[in-house]
Copies of this chain bind each other. A is one copy, B any other.
Amino acid sequence: MKKTTLCLLLCILPLNILLAQEGYKLWLQYHPVEDAALKKHYTSQNAAISVDHNTPTGSVIREELNTALEAMLELQPNFTSPDKASLLILKQAALPEELQKQLPSNAVQDEEGFTIASLNYTGKPVILITSQTDAGLLYGVFRYLNLLQLHTDTSQLSVTDSPKIKKRILNHWDNLDRTVERGYAGFSIWDWHLLPHLIKEEYIDYARANASVGINGTVLNNVNASAYILQDTYLDKVKALADTFRPYGIQVYLTARFSAPIEIGGLKTADPLNEEVRTWWKEKANAIYKKIPDFGGFLIKANSEGQPGPNNYGRSHVEGANMLAEALEPHNGIVMWRAFVYSDEKPEDRAKQAYSEFVPFDGKFKKNVLVQVKNGPIDFQPREPFHPLFGAMPETPLMMEFQITQEYLGGMSHLVFLPKMYEETLQEDTYARGEGSIVAKVIDGSLNTKKLTGIAGVANIGTARNWTGHPFAQANWYGFGRLAWDPYLKSETIAREWLGMTFTTTPEFIDTMTPLLLNSREAVVNYMTPLGLHHIMAEGHHQGPGPWVKDLGREDWTSVYYHKADRMGIGFDRTSTGSNALAQYAEEIENTYKNKRTIPEDYLLWFHHVAWDYEMKNGQSLWYTLARKYQDGVEDVAQMKKTWNAMQDYVSPAVYEKTRMLLDIQYEEAQWWRNSCLLYFQQLSQMKMPPFIPKAPHSLEYYESIRDPYAPGIKPSWD
């Protein structure tokens, strides 16, 4: 079929069919530039381009420019030699002296960094995008295209940027049967059965999207891993993906099941000090690198939630991690060893365990080991204080693990802009080396001059036609990528960028929707877990409220363990009169937080057990304030609905309708949270429901009876 025919066909198709496709393109919509003057200016700047497309990445760059400039400017650029080009994309080593000497003084030296600058060359103005590496050029081009997407004035460009974190990685909790643990966007995009033969378009578009925000690694399989993926037949499939992703600067990693030497190696043990085991891993690493020379390394969840690990053999996390690190070392591979461990044997406050376990190991890991730490000490709650390990292991590179998929944040249906939450953690002060020792500085290595640095995001990507299910969940993928590149970015900046690229640059839209995104995180905290409450979700699948959950296999899986509500009050005493988890933080924090009067009220019930009638800063009782927060959350969602209803003119009917229906669900569920939590807590507080709380349509017994055995994101056998 000829392209003109296709265009004809498409122009006369009904909107509803076409717009289903819109979501697939994510933030790389490349909307046409409608302002005539701007379009003319952009066109003249991009009409003639010089780029070395003889490398795989160069070819990717050329294709992306073709795609973007055709879409935005109806421009088929002329690819030509540097002296005839208006846009030059050149590696620093290939720069003519004339350009070299015009480079801004801060022009990047960092491998993946780039400079975009308006310069003069052979007597005419040009735009130069330069970097030391192919990947840096690609990042520079994507940044440049983003500037065009946002209608930036490009007449005097001087942008130099480089990633502040080395390993910027998505973690896919994807099982080999294509179910996704905590996945709310369909099946796994990895179609293992048809790999290595079938290379789907989706793999390429996944790589484009990641490269466009600077993500440079992907762990393909679940942290609750099957050893099967380390078998030869699967490694061929992994290689096919690695080959596909390589031109986009993306390395492939695998989760390694610690007991793989037994399960697929035929050994009797997986003891990390056993020579046969060590040899098995070395040979496995050699086999992987033979297929995939730039393989990234292993992620390991060991001795946590039933996963095997070195403790099974009386060995430590250090001994386990270092054994794998030794196998990967000759190939420049890394080990990402998760700190999310909690043991059956230690009935210690779960918030304390990772710290207790890992701090003694500081400085004992091999150089190619990163310890991967969740943002907070419990488990991806709507709000947690930062994990006390940050700042507490100065001799060890700590990798941040954020969750992009919304396990505890509304699953498939709640609009929550997570960069706002990531920003909060990254900006928190650990005081590890005095004031200003914020988490971001731990992660980017600047606090303790680490070279090997990393950040991981648990992906929210699936086979959904728009990748993430909820149209606004795309913003969380985007935002994670942007913060992985630069953990000092403001979430507001990210929101504006994403809205502009995805929908429209119209200021009325951006200015209205940006506050909606930024406020959405506080809304979910309010209607789910205000004032420091945490882990009171329904059992197992974590969708919906479950403050009544008790009597599970272990105490620290229950809700009552975390909220400790009783006739007297509510909250987990983590001060010295309680679990003393607070002592794991710096003195500055401890001193402020140990006192109910000085602790930020957002963390009050995380660290204190507080009487129901305790007087809060607003002069009202805790009970009253708690109710007010729940009601605020519900009202916030009502406001989001109202705001969205006014956005109909700015977005496609399909996105408008879908988001509208999803906000209806969110509104209903926010009320469900408020009603059921307040009814539950009221029977304990025995206090009067404040007048602004509407009467619940159901009884507490009704709410407690709700079951959802087919909730998404869990395997049915986990029910």
Contacts and interface: CB of A to CB of B under 8 A. Distances in A.
Contact of A18 (B6, B30, B186, B465): B6
7 contacts: A10-B10, A21-B24, A187-B463, A197-B662, A197-B665, A198-B413, A463-B463
A14 B66 contact: yes
A504 B652 contact: no
A710 B70 contact: no
Interface string A636-671: 000000000000001110100010011011001000
Nearest to A70: B12
- Which of A192, A651, A712 counts the most B-chain CB atoms under 10 A from its CB? A712
A146 to B, nearest CB: 18
B186 A20 contact: no
Contacts of A616: none
Interface in A37-96: 63, 66-67, 70-71, 74
A465 B543 CA distance: 27
Contacts of A6: 15, 18, 652
Interface string A194-230: 1001111110010000000000000000000010100
Interface stretch (A124-132, A173-181, A245-253, A446-454): A173-181
A32 interface: yes
Contacts of A695: none
Contacts of A193: 411-413, 543, 708, 710-712
Contact of A661 (B176, B197, B650): B197
Interface of A: 1, 3, 5-18, 20-21, 24-25, 30-32, 34, 63, 66-67, 70-71, 74, 175-179, 186-187, 191-194, 197-202, 205, 226, 228, 411-413, 463-465, 504, 543, 650-652, 654, 658, 661-662, 664-665, 668, 708-712, 715-717
Number of copies: 2
Contacts of A18: 6, 10, 21
Contacts of A17: 21, 24-25, 67, 205
Contact of A71 (B12, B34, B178): B12
A179 B176 contact: no
A198 B665 contact: yes
Contacts of A717: 716-717
- Which of A21, A412, A662, A664 counts the most B-chain CB atoms under 10 A from its CB? A21
A19 to B, nearest CB: 8
A205 B21 CA distance: 14
A13 B70 contact: yes
B32 A8 contact: yes
A665 B194 contact: yes
Nearest to A719: B177
Contacts of A30: 13
A67 B74 CA distance: 27
Given A187-B463, A197-B668, A71 B661 contact: no
Contacts of A3: 15
A716 B15 contact: no
Contacts of A201: 16, 20, 654
Given A179-B179, A717-B717, A11 B11 contact: yes
A610 to B, nearest CB: 35
Contacts of A228: 709-710
A314 to B, nearest CB: 31
Contacts of A20: 21, 24, 201
A47 to B, nearest CB: 15
A717 B231 CA distance: 21
B504 A70 contact: no
A662 B1 contact: no
A214 B9 CA distance: 26
Contacts of A504: 1
Contacts of A32: 5, 8-9, 12
A31 B199 CA distance: 27
A243 to B, nearest CB: 14
A467 to B, nearest CB: 11
A201 B656 CA distance: 12
A471 to B, nearest CB: 12
Given A177-B716, A463-B465, 20 more contacts: A6-B652, A8-B32, A9-B71, A11-B11, A12-B74, A14-B71, A16-B201, A18-B21, A20-B24, A176-B710, A178-B712, A193-B543, A193-B708, A193-B711, A194-B661, A197-B661, A197-B662, A198-B658, A198-B665, A201-B654
Contacts of A177: 710, 712, 715-716
Contact of A186 (B7, B413, B463, B650): B463
Contacts of A5: 32, 34
A216 B411 CA distance: 34
Nearest to A716: B177
Contact of A67 (B7, B14, B67): B14
Nearest to A178: B712
